[in-house]
Amino acid sequence: MAELATIARPYAEALFKASQADLEGAAAWLEPLAAIAGDPQLLQLAGNPNVRPQQLVDVITGVVNQPLPAAAMNFLRAVIENDRLSALPEIAHQFRALKNARSGSSDAVVYSAFPLDAGALDAVAPALEKRFSRKLNLTVQEDPSLIGGIRVVVGDEVLDTSVKARLEQMKVALTA
């Protein structure tokens, strides 16, 4: 997907520069737009030559469950008019990377066998930040196959303290 990344880069950089005063606010409206733009049915609609750009804007704004600021509407119109709607998820990814680089943080996904409440996540966050030596933006995903414990993915680094990983280590040790 190098081509998609190349297409998305100027949009992400322009949005990053234009949003310097409120990066969190821009991220708050960009993420839902990217999620909507990743829908295959919407992309099929966007590919229909009979659908005008304003109709597509109206459909997307109707699906978003929050009011969009003027900057978001202008950005969405620019992306649609330039036929770059399919690149919107990648634009959001690159924007998030630029925002994280500026703040010195990283996105991290915590996989857990069971739902984690905010208190449990807040308790483990300082240890994870110390382990990975940076501020982490944590999101949680449930993965029942882990049996217990957690698995943390930060970029290409993985910390796996799950029961499943320990059982695999025991299996390797016993069969060696």
* C-alpha–C-alpha distance, residues 72 and 104, integer Å: 25
* C-alpha–C-alpha distance, residues 26 and 72, integer Å: 8
**Domain boundaries of the chain, sorted by first residue:** 2-101, 104-175
Q: What phi and psi values does residue 159 have, to the nearest 5 degrees?
A: -120, 110
Residue pair 23/99 in contact by the 8 Å Cβ criterion: yes
CATH number at 104-175: 3.40.30
**pLDDT tens digit at each of 176 positions of the chain:** 559 999 999 999 999 999 999 999 999 999 999 999 999 999 999 999 999 999 999 999 999 988 999 999 999 999 999 999 999 999 999 999 999 999 999 999 999 999 999 999 999 999 999 999 999 999 999 999 999 999 999 999 999 999 999 999 999 999 97
**What pLDDT does 163 receive?**
94
Residue pair 61/73 in contact by the 8 Å Cβ criterion: yes
* C-alpha–C-alpha distance, residues 31 and 72, integer Å: 11
Which residues, 6 or more positions from 72, have their beta carbon under 8 angstroms from its beta carbon? 26, 29, 30, 33
CB atoms within 10 A of CB 70: 7
**What pLDDT does 176 receive?**
79
Instruction: For the domain made up of 2-101, give the CATH fold.
Output: Peroxidase; domain 1 (1.10.520)
Residue identified by tokens 């320990």 is 166
Residue identified by tokens 């003027």 is 70
- The helix (H) or strand (E) run that includes residue 102 is helix 88-103
